[in-house]
Amino acid sequence: MVKVKNEVKVALRGVSKIFDSGSISTKALEDINLEINSGEFISLIGPSGCGKSTLLRLIGDLLQPSSGEIQVNGKSPKRARLDRDYGIVFQSPVLFDWRKVESNVTLPLEILNIKPEKRRELARKMLALVELDKFENHYPWQLSGGMQQRVAIARALAFEPSILLMDEPFGALDEMTRERMNALLLQIWEKTQTTIIFVTHSIPEAVFLANRVVIMSPRPGRVSEIVTVDLPYPRDEDTRELEQYFELITQVREFIRSTETVNFSVPGEIQWQSEKA
């Protein structure tokens, strides 16, 4: 079981993000304040366009905040990225079809100039972790979508980061594969003790995986509510049958709904607005 430490891993203080494009300015995030402790599994959820992925990219130094401060392991996101403090998994596996599975996993290690023997050792360790140790010599096009995503997870974990950022990694998978990937991800989390920040549109997935669900409001995205998920670990298929599980799903759904109203003031167009704005 993962032990959540009373140690802040990621801190966001007054973070806002504005995208400027000529005369058009879009405020994606506004005054985000959030602390994530070491060993936590955090789900980010909210209506489409609320800035979940933008927030993840700010933490990962793929975007820069317009205002506010972000610290990762007590340093700037840029420094944390250069120090290889985190791995990132996107919705698409982004694998190279001409490289075999093991070679795809070793790619970041090659960039880091890790010796070949060590690269192979780490790649095989991670492939075993995602239950693909018998597929190291296959090409990505020979694998199913779920297996390809497992390769992407193994690649992100190859240099053993302390934080894993995941942007809807299972969104394109069928329901059965998605549930299996959820269970596998929890196993990986428990074995590696990695802090995970996970973006999803699925309320059941958010509740099943996380120990805290961070609910965001419509754009500009703010932290609207934080729900503590006190379901016991390890979680499995029986967890999905618990009354407490369904109660938490309902609670998260109601919190999301409470931040939204449908405005029919413009003919032929539905506008989503925040009641808290």
**For the segment 75-108, what is each residue's pLDDT rounded down to a tens digit?**
999 999 999 999 999 988 999 999 999 999 999 9
Is residue 179 one of the residues assigned to a domain? Answer: yes
Return the residue matching tokens 């959540």: 4
Mean pLDDT computed over every residue of the chain: 90
pLDDT digits (tens, 9 = 90+) for 189-223: 999 999 999 999 999 999 999 999 999 999 899 99
| Domain around 106 | 37-62+87-274
**Calculated CA dihedral for residues 261, 262, 266, 270, nearest 10 degrees:** 130
| Closest C-alpha among 202, 272, 277 to residue 49 | 272
Instruction: Flag whether the pTM goes above 0.85.
Output: yes
The tally of domains found in the chain comes to 1
The secondary structure element, H or E, covering residue 88 is strand 86-89
Answer whether residue 275 shows pLDDT above 80: no
What pLDDT shows up at residue 168? 93
Residue 269 belongs to a domain:
yes
| C-alpha closest to that of 155 among 234, 201, 223, 90 | 90
What is the spatial distance between Cα 140 and Cα 147, in angstroms, rounded to a whole number?
9
pLDDT > 70 in the chain, percent: 92
The reply to whether 50 falls in a domain is: yes
- Is residue 141 assigned to a domain? yes
pLDDT band at residue 2, thresholds of 50, 70 and 90?
low
Q: What pLDDT does residue 6 have?
A: 79
Angstrom distance (rounded) from CA 223 to CA 265:
27
Per-residue tokens: 167? 């942007």
Domain harbouring 128, CATH code? 3.40.50.300
Is 210 part of a structural domain of the chain? yes
**Residue 203 domain flag:** yes
Q: Write the pLDDT tens digit of every residue in 137-150.
A: 999 999 999 999 99
| 12 belongs to a structural domain | no
Per-residue pLDDT band at 1 (split at 50, 70, 90):
low
Task: Let me know how long the chain is.
Answer: 277
Type of residue found at 48? S
Residue 10 lies in a domain: no
211, 228 contact by CB (below 8 A)? yes
